[in-house]
Chain A
Amino acid sequence: MTSIGNVSAVGPPGRARRTGPLRRLAPDEWRAFGFVAPLVLLEIVFVTIPLLLGIYYSLFRVDYFELTAFRGLENYTRMLTSPTILSALVATTVFTIGALVLTLTVGMALALHLERDSRWNVAVRAVALVPYVIAMLVGSLLLRWMFSKDAGLIGAALGPFGLGEATILADPTAAMGALIFNAVWRDSAFAMILLLAGLKSIPPELFAAARVDGAGPFMRFRRITVPLMRIPILITLVRLMIHFVNVLTFALILTGGGPNNATQTLGLAMYRLGFVEFRLGEANALALLVFLFNLILIAINLVLFRQRRGAGR
């Protein structure tokens, strides 16, 4: 975090600059270090050190915080071959792909529908964001009640189709559908906000010109919106993916991982391993494997972030 960076390339204009790593520290530079020190310290203590300690713990057999035996990489191989983890990996993949496709589609549809800043649109956008601003736990709890057989809503809605006895959360496929619904319900408006920002940066003349040339709405979307929104779409995709791969609240509250572990995602499996079974050695190994995967996504996010800044937005 504190390695030497190229300051002059990004500095605001009109400031005195010195070059070369061996220059004496100016008083202002000392002051700057003092100003950023609390931030750096807090991030090191609460993010970096835990991760390092996690790596250390992941090499041992741990019984309730007691490091009882050195295991080397055995925790990692155990995790990668455990049937529970592999089934969680499958559940996470199904959930992530389903949630990603639907959230992005609904988010894009919302953004296109609510693009103009009319009074109505601004209000509807705010309402659409409500599931996103309330606690994830509360949202999933309310959906669990809505989907439960006791509520009678599903019976009343599906009764006319002869499915009055359907129990959504007790059927593996339907429960996965409910989990994906939870993600779409909560995060579509988040996708909408990110996509709206990109949509607004497309010059309206392009659409006007295309219309004069006789391009229909679908053609305009495919040939103008999508190509020019490549970076915002990718950013939204990566940000949602980071979220969906890791999220545990949806599964913990809505389905409890059931029925029969069909909706137990990696986040939930990790939570149970660590805080229900207290197998902290294996749990740390799993956490670090997932974190490694996250690092790839974060790196992609950083590259996109840089590109967007490069494009001047």
Chain B
Amino acid sequence: MSGAPSWRARRRTRLVTGAVVNTAIILFALFPILWGLSTSFKPADEILRFPPELIPSNPTLENYALLFRTGIERFVLNSTIVSVAAVVGSLAIGSLAAYAMARLAFRGRTTLMFAVVALMSIPLPSLLVPTFTFLANLGLINSRTGLALLYTAYQLPIVVWILYGYFLSLPIELENAARIDGYSRLETLWKIVLPLSGPGLVASGLFVLTFAWNDFVVAVVMISSEDYKTLPVAIYGYLGFYGREWGPLTASAILSIIPVIAVFVVFQRFFLGGMTSGGVKS
């Protein structure tokens, strides 16, 4: 170990290396998205120009206009309806179950807890064929209700898990006081526990929201009618329809990304809290 100047030099090298590595990480993560963003603003005849332009010299909104002329807002609306229904359903059912698991003694509780953890790790693609077979028999194919129910069922385990952990961390004294005042269990949950559980509800709600908004594999299998397609299924349709016209394709990709990024930026810390709590599917 030598004196102060070398220490300072080493510190500077470390800072510079750190900045270089950070820039590399940011480029690695964002370049494909920024390249798509750039393409989505290019007029059709400039997209295939070589050498490629990273920043469009004649930016245009024609690709986005084309999407709205052909009615992309229907698919955005379908995605929104199904996502919101799944969030409401899974929070309602999930908070009831999580409350029982956190505060009530009942037979099968441990089993249920392990079942919840096991369910969290079932990969969706392996369920697609059997589920399609079953729902087709039930007539729940091609319906927003069917899709919202599926999303609720698939995301409930993670919701229950996050809320269970959250409820356990609340002081039990408040609930005991409410019980003494004659509140029923349901009233205690509704008036005491849930108002205190904002962060837990937001974290679990966000998981359902992004899952339902982003899902492609479940929706593409369960929905074939134009009327009920969600945005990712519509984008997959564009891929077949527009083929090599990457202007409208990248524009539709950007439309799907914008709300997710906005929600992620605002609620970032809730996401991270939920992810480390145990059961997020990759």
A: residues with CB less than 8 A from B are 1-7, 9-12, 15-17, 21, 26, 28-29, 31-33, 35-36, 38-40, 42-43, 45-47, 49-51, 53-54, 57, 65, 110, 113, 120, 124-131, 133-139, 141-143, 145-146, 148, 150-153, 155-156, 185, 187, 189-190, 193-194, 196-197, 239-240, 242-243, 245-249, 253, 267, 270-271, 273-275, 280, 283-284, 286-288, 290-291, 294, 297-298, 301-302, 305
Tell me the smallest distance from the CB of B184 to a CB of chain A, in Å. Answer: 9
A42 touches B93 (CB 8 A): yes
> B31-83: which residues lie under 8 A (CB-CB) from chain A?
31-33, 35-36, 39, 47-52
Partner of B130, one of A6, A32, A50, A124: A50
Q: In the complex where A53-B134, A239-B282 touch, is A287 in contact with B126 (Cβ < 8 A)?
A: yes
**When the two chains form the complex, which single residue of B26, B107, B133, B256 contacts A134, counting CB atoms closer than 8 Å?**
B256
B30 touches A243 (CB 8 A): no
A33 to B103, CA, bound (A): 12
What 1/0 flags go to B231-272 for Cβ under 8 Å of A?
Answer: 010011001000010100110010011001100110010011
What are 22 pairs between A and B in contact, CB < 8 Å?
Answer: A1-B112, A3-B108, A28-B106, A38-B93, A39-B94, A42-B153, A43-B115, A43-B156, A46-B154, A47-B153, A51-B130, A145-B250, A150-B48, A156-B51, A190-B282, A242-B121, A242-B123, A243-B281, A246-B126, A249-B216, A271-B125, A284-B129
Provide the bound-state CA to CA distance between A26 and B132, in Å: 40
Contact-size category for B = 35 or more
B275 CB-CB contact with A under 8 Å: yes
A197: B residues at CB distance < 8 A: 276
Contact of B128 with A by CB under 8 A? yes
B28 and A15 contacting across the interface, CB-CB below 8 Å = no
Taking the nearest CB of chain A, how far is it from the CB of B117, in angstroms? 6
B137 within 8 A of A: yes
Residues of chain B whose beta carbon lies under 8 Å from any beta carbon of chain A: 18, 21-22, 25-26, 28-33, 35-36, 39, 47-52, 93-94, 96-97, 99-115, 117-119, 121-137, 149-150, 152-154, 156-157, 160, 168, 172, 185, 210, 213-217, 221, 232, 235-236, 239, 244, 246, 249-250, 253, 256-257, 260-261, 264-265, 268, 271-272, 275-276, 278, 280-282
Contact B150 A46 (CB under 8 A): yes
B residues less than 8 Å from A38 (CB atoms): 93, 96-97
- Tell me if B's interface is mostly helix, strand, loop or mixed: helix
Q: How far is the CB of B91 from chain A (nearest CB, A)?
A: 12
- Whether A45 lies near B168 (C-beta < 8 A) is no
On whether the beta carbons of B118 and A152 are closer than 8 Å, the reply is no
Q: Whole-angstrom distance between the alpha carbons of A2 and B22 in the complex?
A: 49
**Complex: how many Å from CA A195 to CA B186?**
38
In the assembled complex, which residues on chain B have CB atoms less than 8 Å from the CB atom of A146? 31-32, 35-36
B130–A53 CB distance below 8 A = yes
Considering only CB atoms, which chain B residue lies closest to A106 in the complex? Answer: B28
Residue of B nearest to A113 (CB): B21
Question: Pick the contact of A135 from B26, B49, B102, B214 — CB < 8 Å?
Answer: B214
* A-B CB proximity, top 5 nearest: A54-B130, A35-B100, A5-B110, A135-B214, A46-B153
A156→B25 contact, CB < 8 A: no
Bound Cα distance A273, B129 (Å): 9
- CB pair A4–B51 under 8 Å, yes or no, is no
| A28-B105, A36-B97, A146-B35 as given contacts; A284 in contact with B133, CB under 8 Å | yes
Distance between Cα atoms of A154 and B106 in the complex (Å): 61
* A21/B32 in contact, CB under 8 A: no
Q: Is the interface of A mostly helix, strand, loop or mixed?
A: helix
Given A7-B109, A142-B32, A150-B48 in contact, is the A1-B115 Cβ separation under 8 Å?
yes
Contact of B232 among A65, A135, A288 (CB under 8 A): A135
A124–B25 touching, CB < 8 Å: yes
Quote the shortest CB–CB distance from A69 to chain B (angstroms): 17
Q: Known pairs A32-B109, A301-B121. 16 more at Cβ < 8 A? A: A1-B111, A1-B112, A4-B108, A12-B103, A39-B94, A39-B97, A43-B119, A65-B136, A135-B216, A142-B32, A146-B32, A155-B50, A156-B51, A280-B133, A287-B130, A294-B126
Query: What residues of B have a CB within 8 angstroms of the CB of A288 in the complex?
Result: 130
Determine if A141 and B235 form an interchain contact, defined as CB atoms under 8 angstroms apart.
Answer: yes
Which of A5, A125, A130, A270 contacts B125 (CB under 8 A)? Answer: A270
Identify the closest chain B residue to A124 (Cβ). Answer: B22
Instruction: Say yes or no: A153-B35 contact (C-beta < 8 A), given A1-B108, A1-B111, A134-B214.
Output: yes
